[in-house]
């Protein structure tokens, strides 16, 4: 089973970016933890980071061979109809994740355009949100497989 992982804009700066909110782990370190959990769970990951909305849309459109999508849409969470529509258009379940608890932050972060097209959301556990999200992605991928 292959899981597509997408990190949205500015997440390439993790480690130095607003470390009081996002912590000090770099994106490489997060990806290493994800790959190590994926090996334990017996799944393969295809990991992408992009700062560009259209590129994220294209990655989602080409997700054909993946069984689930694990996505931190970052700032696009709150603005991107295009990413929401791309997720709705492909036939794979999505898990939305955030390092921070977006509901405890500024009001503009309280709305996610992605949640209505996701199977669920994990937010507020720092880098562990990714690991919890990966477990959730495997659960929804398996549920989707047995339903079809
Ligand atoms: C984020 C939360 C977003 O509001 C913000 O724009 C990000 C990161 C998070 O992981 O907590 O870039 O998605």
Which pLDDT score, from 0 to 100, does residue 111 have? 98
The string of pLDDT tens digits covering residues 42-86 is 999 999 999 999 999 999 999 988 999 999 999 999 999 999 999
**pLDDT confidence tier of residue 146, bands split at 50, 70 and 90:** confident
Note if 7 is an active site residue: no
Whether 76 sits among the annotated catalytic residues: the reply is no
Smallest CA-to-CA distance from 137 within 85, 90, 94, 81 is with 94
pLDDT at position 147, please? 82
What percentage of the chain carries pLDDT values higher than 90?
95
Eight-class DSSP state of 108: G
Catalytic residue among 7, 76, 98, 130: 98
Tokens 């292959």, residue?
Answer: 2
> Ligand 1 — pocket residues by CB below 6 A?
10, 72, 74-75, 77, 98-100, 102, 109
Q: If you average pLDDT over every residue of the chain, what do you get?
A: 97
Question: β-strand 68-72 against 2-7: which pairing, if any?
Answer: parallel
Instruction: Select from 3.40.190.10, 3.40.430.10, 3.40.50.720, 3.40.50.9100 the CATH code of 2-100+113-147.
Output: 3.40.50.9100
Whole-model pTM: value is 0.97
């Amino acid at each position: 089973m292959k899981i597509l992982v997408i990190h949205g804009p500015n997440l390439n700066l993790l480690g130095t970016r607003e470390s009081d909110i996002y912590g000090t782990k770099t994106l490489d370190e997060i990806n290493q933890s994800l790959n190590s959990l994926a090996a334990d769970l017996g799944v393969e990951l295809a990991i992408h980071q992009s700062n560009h909305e259209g590129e994220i849309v294209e990655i989602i459109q080409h997700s054909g061979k993946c069984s689930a999508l694990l996505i931190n849409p970052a700032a696009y969470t709150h603005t991107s109809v295009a990413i929401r529509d791309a997720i709705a258009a492909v036939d794979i379940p999505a898990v939305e994740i955030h390092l921070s608890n977006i509901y405890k932050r500024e009001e503009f972060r309280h709305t996610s355009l992605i949640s209505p097209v996701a199977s669920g959301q994990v937010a507020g556990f720092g880098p562990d949100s990714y690991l919890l999200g990966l477990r959730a992605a495997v659960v929804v991928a398996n549920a989707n497989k047995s339903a079809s």
